[in-house]
Structure 1
Amino acid sequence: MYSFTLTSISPLDGRYHSVLIQLRNIFSEYALIKFRIKIELDWFIQLSLIKQINNLPYFSEKDYKFINNIYNNFNENEALSIKNIEMKTEHDVKSVEYYIKSKFSLHDKLKNFKEFIHFGCTSDDINNLSYALMLQKNRRLIILPYWKNISFYFKKLSIQYKNVPLLARTHGQPATPSTVGKEFLNFYYRLQRQIKKIKKIEILGKFNGSTGNYNALSLAYPEIDWQHISRNFVNSFGFTWNAYTTQIEPHDYILDFLSCIASFNSILIDFNRDMWGYISLNYFSQKIKKDIIGSSIMPHKINPINFENSEGNLGLSNAIIYHMNAHLPLSRWQRDLTDSTLLRNLGVIFGYSVIGYSSLLKGLKKINIQQDIIKKDLDNHWEILCEGIQTVMRKYNIKNSYESLKVLSNHNQIDKKILRNFIMKLNIPKQEKEKLYGLHPSNYIGYASKIVDFL
């Protein structure tokens, strides 16, 4: 525990500090500055390779190594020097430009070409690609690994419990049985759809000046095809080139990205609530370490805190996503700065999500199924067989099939004996009666087990 975690306003940097270490390398202020440096330097290198820009000389391999090392050797102390510059300029991107110029001043050749740093750029040329790098890296290193790991557990539990019958509950009332594995499978399938979806989301980028028209660049070098240069530059990062923008990339793809995150999170919130209920019914118990305390006053308590924690944090993540999605695509005329402060909170979205994912995984690893309790619950609800019996009666065109079972079951305690007596009086073939005699709440599961085998 670091002392600063005790004085942090946000639990992301306080209580949950250790869970979010990976995210700091992607979404912190330090990470944003470093991404900006990469874009600025790569743009300078791009310019140096354009033959028509004869103002820039040939640079040697050693020169390019010096340029790249500004990024490769960047550290927190260097970031602090940029923040010191920003205290004077009160402009974050311009401070990065001045920092790089100070580095070029240390090189005999590069010091003469400092004015080609941030050449023809507006701040969002740098920023939109920096945030795109964040999301690209986050998807590859954080989101997909977490999502695949969670999905793996759902698949594993689907297979493990595919034959364990479960009293279903619709509207909170006893209903047609399923199996525990089939219920896990429902969530697995939903999660898999989001995994496929997020992989396909294109990350867009633009690099076209103050209002998206290459005004300054085309004035300085009218003979150069700047659209072609822009496309190649954006594509070089693995992004899709957006040719039609104002000063800013309009963030529509970020909405797609965040909406997918929100959908995945909502599915898990749904699951967390189900697990909370199953644990309250004692369908699942929880492994607990010797010194763990569930309640400060009730010694017997083992609360479903991991699923509750997951639900709360995923809900916070989604709340911010909903605000982002409502406001990120809006920009007054060609530019306002509303999006700037919103984008700085991308890390908050993924911070709460990661806490939610981590808590869920922790909860899944602690659960033990209580098959005896599940079976006992099934044994106490023979009324759920009325659905199947009245359906077989309909097969033989018995009038008022549904209504007769409704009278039998409504407000009455039904057991095996009552149902057998009812079946005995039915005017249906002997083999059908024998089939109905063999019904039990634990074997009336339809294709539930087979559906899991379709995996």
Structure 2
Amino acid sequence: MDETNLRNLSPLDGRYHDKTKESREIFSEESLINKRLTVELKWLKFFIKNFRKDLVKKSDFKKLDSLLKKLPKNLPLKVKEIEKTTNHDVKAVELALGEKFKQKEFKNLIHIFLTSEDVNSFSYAIMMKEVQNASLNWVQGVISILNKMRTKYADLAMLSKTHGQPASPTTLGKEINVFKTRLEREIKTMKRLQARAKWGGATGNYNVHQLVFKKNWVTMSRKFLKESEVELCEVSTQIEPHDFMAEQFNSMQRISNILLDLSRDIWTYISMDYFKLKVLKSEVGSSTMPHKVNPIDFENAEGNLGLSNALFSHLSEKLPVSRLQRDLSDSTVLRSIGSAYGYFELSVNSLLKGLNKLEANRAIIGKELDGKYEILTEAIQTFLRLEGVVEPYEKVKKISRGNAMDKETYLKIIDELIVDKSHKKTLKNLTPQTYVGIAEELAKL
């Protein structure tokens, strides 16, 4: 960390600077300016090729292509300098680009037919596409580790806990696979989401467009945006209504909640000694208790998932609502999208680090399951039902509820209550370790 990072207001750019690189590359001010510059240039080229073909052979058209291939590194700084005078960020982009062209015809056509929100809408659509792909990669990293764990521990019988109390056994691999399959389902949902932008001018009606050129502007706009794999929002006000963003934020919330659930469960398993954490000699668990090895990665993930969720929730509720044809309250909120994804990226990095430190404590898991014969009473009462016994559940409940049960007591109950010999044999051969149903198969689905 350098001295500059020490002075940053947000921990995403300070303490966690190195752990939020991808989000920063997508949503930084520099990135937003570069996307606006690119959108303006793409539209200028599209407009010239469709409406002013006489300019294609001009020298500045080559300059246009050159800028599209590679923007000057100092151009965003130039934009910010101009913005000090204009107090308008998109106008500053237009003026900065104007300085790059010598011919008046090109200067005059920059930003033609556009409103600022056309440029912003397209720019944010591109950013949302980029962060969608990045998010899918982050989550896939978690899925990859869970995939290894569910296979490794597919047959490791484990005592379940419902309401914090002993319940029918499962396997550790199957419980890990619950999270893997949930994440995979949500990834499929997110992949279907499409970025959209509006391109209809001041109030979405192509007013000046149609006045100057009698064209099918919806078709032309769709064609222009499709070149960047962005869908056209055909009917809009001055702004794209941000519904597609809300869909993506809601999907991110669901993914965050799954990861939050995973973090808390792993934390609890660690506290139960079901998992051991690999010890790094250089790390300190407590400033006063030298023995401590704390699950800090899962706690960090939990805290930052809460922050990202809070932001995703506000973004999805706020952005689709705008007064009449447009108010500006969405503009400042849009700038916090990067923070939401930054906290999410940080959470995933912490979660990945924590998951890579885990090793199942087979001895403790096995010991906790040993002797828990009371969890087999579900099987006893089920066979009693099959034998036609009156009030089978109540009979077993009276004997077992709230009481620990060893093997001897369990076998005695079978002899007293079960009549059918095959049922007796099945139940007597049953142990807490083998009473896992098809959990091993489910772990491998």
Aligning the two structures, in what range does the TM-score lie when normalised by the shorter sequence? over 0.9
TM-score by length of 1: 0.95
| Corresponding residue number in structure 1 for 2:304 | 313
SS in 1 for 2:432: coil
Per mean C-alpha deviation after superposition, the further-off stretch among 81-90 and 234-243 is 234-243
**C-alpha contact 1:34 1:71 (8 A) present in aligned 2:** no
1:128 aligns with 2:111: no
| Corresponding residue number in structure 2 for 1:118 | 111
1:226 aligns with 2:204: no
| Corresponding residue number in structure 2 for 1:36 | 36
TM-score by length of 2: 0.97
Q: What displacement does 1:340 show?
A: 0.6
How do 1:410-429 and structure 2 match up within 5 A? 410-429=401-420
1:166-218 C-alpha deviation (Å, 9 max, x unpaired) = 11111111111110000011111100011101110011111100000001111
**C-alpha contact 1:269 1:311 (8 A) present in aligned 2:** yes
1:66 aligns with 2:58: no
Per mean C-alpha deviation after superposition, the further-off stretch among 277-286 and 433-442 is 433-442
1:371-410 C-alpha deviation (Å, 9 max, x unpaired) = 1100111114221111111111111111221112111112
SS in 1 for 2:170: strand
1:252-280 C-alpha deviation (Å, 9 max, x unpaired) = 00000111111001001011111111000
| Corresponding residue number in structure 1 for 2:93 | 96
Name the CA distance, whole Å, in 2 between partners of 1:136 and 1:186: 28
Name the CA distance, whole Å, in 2 between partners of 1:444 and 1:348: 47
Gaps of 5+ in 2: none
Per mean C-alpha deviation after superposition, the further-off stretch among 433-442 and 267-276 is 433-442
1:39-73 C-alpha deviation (Å, 9 max, x unpaired) = 100100011111xx35x623139644421333444
- Structure 2 counterpart of 1:120, one-letter code: F
Name the CA distance, whole Å, in 2 between partners of 1:124 and 1:30: 18
**C-alpha contact 1:30 1:76 (8 A) present in aligned 2:** no
Pick from 334, 343, 358 the counterpart of residue 352 of structure 1. 343
Per mean C-alpha deviation after superposition, the further-off stretch among 435-444 and 63-72 is 63-72
**C-alpha contact 2:42 2:68 (8 A) present in aligned 1:** no
Q: What displacement does 1:95 show?
A: 0.3
- Structure 2 counterpart of 1:290, one-letter code: K
1:297-351 C-alpha deviation (Å, 9 max, x unpaired) = 1111111111111111111001011111111001100011111111111110110
- Structure 1 counterpart of 2:85, one-letter code: K
Pick from 319, 324, 330 the counterpart of residue 333 of structure 1. 324
Q: Cα 1:24–1:76, aligned 2, differ >3 Å: closer, same or farther?
A: farther
Q: What displacement does 1:165 show?
A: 0.6
| Corresponding residue number in structure 1 for 2:177 | 185
Pick from 176, 188, 193 the counterpart of residue 201 of structure 1. 193
Identity %: 41
Name the CA distance, whole Å, in 2 between partners of 1:342 and 1:95: 21
**Structure 1 runs (4+) greater than 3 angstroms displaced:** 60-65
- Structure 1 counterpart of 2:10, one-letter code: S
Pick from 284, 289, 292 the counterpart of residue 298 of structure 1. 289
Per mean C-alpha deviation after superposition, the further-off stretch among 262-271 and 431-440 is 431-440
Q: Cα 1:391–1:64, aligned 2, differ >3 Å: closer, same or farther?
A: farther
Name the CA distance, whole Å, in 2 between partners of 1:331 and 1:120: 23
Gaps of 5+ in 1: none
SS in 1 for 2:54: coil
| Corresponding residue number in structure 2 for 1:254 | 245
- Structure 2 counterpart of 1:174, one-letter code: P
Per mean C-alpha deviation after superposition, the further-off stretch among 395-404 and 262-271 is 395-404
Name the CA distance, whole Å, in 2 between partners of 1:355 and 1:174: 35
Pick from 364, 373, 390 the counterpart of residue 399 of structure 1. 390
Q: What displacement does 1:431 show?
A: 2.0
Pick from 138, 152, 161 the counterpart of residue 169 of structure 1. 161
